[in-house]
Amino acid sequence: MQKTLDSQTFKTRDAASYNSLTEQFDFFTDCLSSSLAAQMVSLAKIGSPHSVLDVGTGTGVVALQAAGKIGVGKVHGIDLSEEMLATATAKADRLGLAGKIEFIRMDAEELKFEAQTFDTAVSLFALLHFPNPLMALREIFRVLRPGGRLVVAVGSSPPLISLSGLIHRFKILPDLLRRSQGKQLVAPNFLNSLVERRRITFIRAVMN
C-alpha cells in the first residue's frame, strides 16, 4: 500500500525542492514580496536594541529588511534549504549587513534557541509549508520574550464577500474550469488531490 510521507522525509524533500530554483525564486520574491516584507517589518516595530527571528526565511526578503532597520541587535533567519540560505547570506554580504544578520539551517518545528530569546518573530509565506504548523507556532512562542511580537503572513485570496473577492473569482472562472478538468495544474493542490484519489482507488482495488 502507498505510504504517506513521514514528516522528516517531507521536510527534507520540501527544502531540497527549492535548491535548484533558488535564483528564480529570489528574482520573483524581490519583484513581488518586497513591499509586503516592508509592511511586515513596519508591523514588527523594530526598536534598538532588538532581536528578530525570521522563520522559513528563504532568500531573506523579510530578514534583510529587518536587519536594515535594526540599530543595536541582530536578525536570525532560519530555513532548511541550503541554497536559499546561501543566497540570503550572499545578499547580506552585498548589502553590508553581515554583522547584523545570521542565516542558519534549522527546522522551524525544532528551534535550537533558548526560551525567550527574541523580541520579534516574523514569517512570510512559510507557515503552511511546515507539516505541523502548530508545533512551529509553539516553538516560536517559546523563543519569544514575554510581550514580544509575532508577524505572520500566509497567502490567501480576497474575502468572498467583498468587491475585490467577487472580481477575483470572476477573473479566475476559466482557470477554475480548466483545473476541475485537470487541464491546468496547480501545485501542490492538484497533485495532492490526484495522489489522494489514486490512493483511494488503490485501496478499493485491494479490498475487492
Ligand X SMILES: C[S@@+](CC[C@H](N)C(=O)[O-])C[C@H]1O[C@@H](n2cnc3c(N)ncnc32)[C@H](O)[C@@H]1O
Buried b / exposed e across 47-79, counting CB within 10 Å, b at 16+? Answer: eeebbbbbbbbbbbbbbbbbbbbbeebbbbbbb
Distance CA 95, CA 101 (A): 11
Among 108, 111, 143, 151, binds ligand X (CB under 6 A): 108
Contact at 8 Å (CB) between 149 and 46? no
**Does position 77 bind ligand X by CB under 6 A?**
no
Lateral strand order in the sheet of 50-55: 101-105, 73-79, 50-55, 118-124, 144-153
**Does position 126 bind ligand X by CB under 6 A?**
yes
**Does position 15 bind ligand X by CB under 6 A?**
yes
Among 50, 69, 91, 129, binds ligand X (CB under 6 A): 129
Which of 113/125 has CB closer to ligand X? 125
**Does position 84 bind ligand X by CB under 6 A?**
yes
* Residue nearest to ligand X as judged by C-beta position: 58
Output the smallest distance, CB 54 to ligand X, in A. Answer: 7
Q: Which residues bind ligand X (CB under 6 A)?
A: 11, 14-15, 18, 29, 33, 56-58, 61, 78-81, 84, 107-109, 124-126, 129-130
